[in-house]
Amino acid sequence: MNQNLHPGCRTWTRVSALLLVVLLAGYMERPSLASAQAPAALNPSAGTPDASPPGIVAWGDSLTVGDQGYIDQGTYPTELALRMGLRVVNEGVNAATPTQIGICEGGVPTNATVAGGSIPASGGVTVTFPDGWEPVTARGPASGVSGSILGVGGLVTFDATSSISTFTRTTPGEAVSAPGSLRFVVDNSYANWLPVFWEGRNDIADVSRTLSDIAAQVQSVPAGQNYVILANLNGNHSDEWIGGSDYEYILTLNNQLAETYGRHYLDVRRMLISSYNPAQATDVADVKHDDVPTSLRAIYATATLGNAIGPEDTVLTIAHSSRGMQYGAILTIDTGANAENAFISTVSGDTVTVERNLGGHVTSHKAGAPLTESDLFHLNAKGYQIVADAVAQFLSAKTLGP
């Protein structure tokens, strides 16, 4: 993955911004947030939407970051910019929870404790945040998050080697006494942009907290401004297939989001599932699992089968691999009607042990059959294009009236 494409809270794709005025102009009423335990507005400075806003801002985790795998990479914000003819900012942060996304967006508050109880006249000072409420982690945003403590502007950054957060003043001045736990007020440069929220995957077991965090972000959107909330995706393993414990968390969260936000909610999960390849046995199995098709998942390696295997065999020899196979990934053996998915449980050089019967046709496979290692959660270029198509069509349809 090319992390340089997404340095965090400040990366954008430049396109013209002709359509967004229509998209933001008086389309929606704000839904009731009572069922999501919506807090009071946390961004009183948001004000009225700009008459000519700059574009769209995509808030989210690694699904928003995109560019997973080693071939067929893509990101939905980049594709969305091409489809909408608008400037789109990618604010995705890998492994971010809704709380951390909300802090970066400005809707979820967080407090900082300044080392020594004083902000120095210049330079940086160590700060600490409650666990899980950090604006910056080892995963990003790489450029840090700007904001203020007691009215002193600065930038919070994180050193992954030392696990230390630092608040560095933007402008030198007098030292400021800063005892105790103090609000860190994030500078939200995108308050008047149209936000797309895609989050919840990294905290799926705590549905109430996720709903509260998303509600706080929605509450910070200026009144009368459009926004979009995307459905969460389930992963390609049994806990997240239909009937699994994590599947129930995801469906409960998505159903609550749909009920709370109504016409702002877009079920991209269902659209991805509907885009399966009926000629691919693994995709057909994925649909039965109520899961995103394997053919739309990020690809991490391709290879061929070095030895012929029977339907009971679990030890495979890998030949002509583009990259080393990884434990914990999905291995698709063969293609078409003979395709089957297996879980890679061990890797030793060119030999892998797998757990079979994850979907598709469990059968014999000849030496030389194609192998594809895919991600359990993320999408390839086609998958992200489907998401971008759905968001673009969703937003464009809202120009037709309430």
Tens of pLDDT, residue by residue over 28-58, are: 333 333 333 333 332 333 334 444 458 999 9
DSSP symbol at 349: T
Mean pLDDT of the chain: 88
Residue pair 305/343 in contact by the 8 Å Cβ criterion: no
Listed range (4-18, 247-261, 310-324) with the worst mean pLDDT: 4-18
Listed range (28-37, 67-76, 250-259) with the worst mean pLDDT: 28-37
Residue pair 95/63 in contact by the 8 Å Cβ criterion: no
Structure tokens at 56: 């769209």
Q: Distance between CA 350 and CA 217 in Å, rounded?
A: 47
Question: Strands 370-379 and 297-305: what pairing?
Answer: antiparallel
Helix (H) or strand (E) run with residue 354 in it = strand 351-355
Token match 């194609």: residue? 370
Q: Which of 199, 231, 204 is nearest to 394 (CA)?
A: 231
CATH architecture of 281-377: Beta Barrel (2.40)
Residue pair 92/66 in contact by the 8 Å Cβ criterion: yes
Condensed to tens digits (0 to 9), the pLDDT of residues 346-365 reads 999 999 999 999 999 999 99
Q: Looking at the predicted structure, is the pLDDT value of residue 138 above 70?
A: yes
Which CATH superfamily is 3-106+190-274+381-400 part of? SGNH hydrolase (3.40.50.1110)
Cβ neighbors of 299 (< 8 A, separation 6 or more) are 69, 70, 71, 72, 372, 373, 374, 375, 380
- pLDDT score recorded for residue 60: 98
Token match 């914000």: residue? 77
- CA distances, 233 to each of 218, 227, 375 (Å): 20, 19, 13
Q: Looking at the predicted structure, is the pLDDT value of residue 366 above 90?
A: yes
Q: Looking at the predicted structure, is the pLDDT value of residue 341 above 50?
A: yes
pTM of this prediction? 0.87
- pLDDT score recorded for residue 398: 61
